[in-house]
């Protein structure tokens, strides 16, 4: 597997607060990598650096070997807030990036329809987002991310606002879509179970200053299902991550 994204010595300071201490990170093409850590440890800042919303104070960020420092338009990006616009239908929300960047073509519509049909939202194409449930809205938001041609998708706590049941459904759905799409996913979450269930690697970050403290390769075999959540490998990895996040357990 080849390297898709590489960060070398990347750091970012706000005023006198170190949000991200010098950080190295390499992401393999086609992999699913999760980042866990308490809030305020610089996860979103790391994403904003890669997305080009922020420029690092030092270090280099390369996508496919080319520097993308401070430049946008290279990655797919999705937040906990679905950011669907209420005045556009599901179809047009899926095509939002096309609307925002160039003239819309008939292929954009077709692509949006194919995606929505394949993932069970075909009958809602002409609906406004406000008529949809939270889970459905996040699906639409993810499709909006997926129709962009970018190989790297940055998902910042995309399921953070969903209820437990919907979240499980969305996780399985995401794995299915990820496998079919062949994209590379960087996934922020504060849910350790979610990070293990989904990813090939789990990166643990720690605050003050924001930095990577561990990088676990997930031994859990694919395909994964609910039984994966109770295997020895799962529990062992979860224990290691929990210890890093919350310290030794108080017995």
Partner 1 sequence: MNKVLRNLGIPILSIVLLLLTWQAIVVGFHVDSFIAPRPLAAIASITGNWSTLWPLLLGTIRETVYGFFCGAILGISLGVVMAKVRFIQKLIYPLLVLSQAVPIIALATPLVLIFGLTIRPIIIVVAWIVFFPVTVSIVDGLSHVDPDLLNLAKVYGAGKFRTFWQIEVPASVSPLFSGLKIGATYAVTGAIIGELASSTGSNLAEFQQHANANFNTAAVYGSTILMTIVGISWFLLVVACEIWATPWLRRSTARRRRLRLRQAVAKR
Ligand X SMILES: Nc1ncnc2c1ncn2[C@@H]1O[C@H](COP(=O)(O)OP(=O)(O)O)[C@@H](O)[C@H]1O
Q: Based on CB atoms, which residue is closest to ligand X, 132 or 154? A: 154
Q: Does 19 bind ligand X (CB under 6 A)?
A: yes
Binding site for partner 1 (CB under 8 A): 51-53, 72-73, 75, 77, 79, 81, 83, 85-89, 92, 96-97, 99-101, 104-106, 108-109, 126-128, 130-131, 148
Closest CB 189 distance from partner 1, rounded Å: 18
Binding mask 183-222 for ligand X (x = CB under 6 A): ---------------------------x------------
What radius of gyration do the chain's Cα atoms show? 18
Measured between alpha carbons, how far is 71 from 244 in angstroms, rounded to an integer?
34
Minimum Å gap between C-beta 44 and Mg ion is 3
Contact (CB, 8 A) for 122 and 140:
no
φ, ψ (nearest 5 deg) of residue 21: -75, 160
CB of 179 to ligand X, least distance (A): 27
Q: Measured between alpha carbons, how far is 207 from 247 in angstroms, rounded to an integer?
A: 14
Residue 160, helix vs strand vs coil = coil
Which CB sits closer to ligand X, 40 or 219? 40
User: How many chain residues touch Mg ion (CB under 5 A)?
Assistant: 1
Range 115-125 burial, b when 16+ CB lie within 10 A, else e = bbeebebeebb
Site for Mg ion in 40-69 (CB under 5 A): 44
Site for ligand X in 95-114 (CB under 6 A): none
Which residue number, 40 or 122, has a Cβ lying nearer to ligand X? 40
Is 134 or 160 the residue whose CB approaches ligand X more closely?
A: 160
**Which DSSP category does 17 fall into?**
E
Only one residue has tokens 């390769």, namely: 217
3-class SS of residue 163: coil
């Amino acid at each position: 597997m080849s390297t898709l994204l590489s960060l070398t010595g990347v750091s970012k300071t706000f005023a006198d607060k170190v949000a991200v201490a010098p950080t190295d990170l390499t992401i393999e093409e086609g992999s699913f990598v999760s980042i866990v850590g308490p809030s305020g440890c610089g996860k979103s800042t790391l994403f904003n650096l890669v997305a080009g919303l922020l420029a690092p104070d030092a270090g280099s960020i390369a996508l496919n070997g080319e520097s993308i420092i401070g430049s946008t338009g290279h990655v797919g990006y999705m937040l906990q807030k679905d950011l669907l616009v209420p005045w556009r239908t599901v179809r047009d929300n899926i095509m939002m990036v096309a609307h925002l960047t160039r003239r819309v073509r008939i292929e954009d519509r077709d692509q949006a329809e194919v995606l929505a049909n394949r993932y069970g939202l075909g009958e809602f194409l002409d609906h406004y987002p406000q008529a949809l449930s939270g889970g459905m809205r996040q699906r639409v938001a993810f499709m909006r991310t997926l129709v962009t041609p970018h190989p790297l998708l940055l998902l910042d706590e995309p399921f953070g606002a969903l209820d437990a049941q919907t979240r499980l459904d969305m996780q399985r759905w995401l794995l299915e879509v990820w496998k079919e799409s062949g994209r590379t996913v960087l996934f922020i979450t504060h849910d350790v179970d979610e990070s293990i269930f989904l990813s090939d690697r789990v990166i643990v970050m720690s605050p003050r200053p924001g930095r990577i403290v561990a990088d676990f390769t997930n031994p859990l075999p694919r395909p994964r299902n609910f039984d994966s959540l109770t295997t020895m490998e799962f529990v062992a990895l979860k224990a290691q991550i929990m210890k890093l996040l919350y310290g030794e357990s108080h017995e």
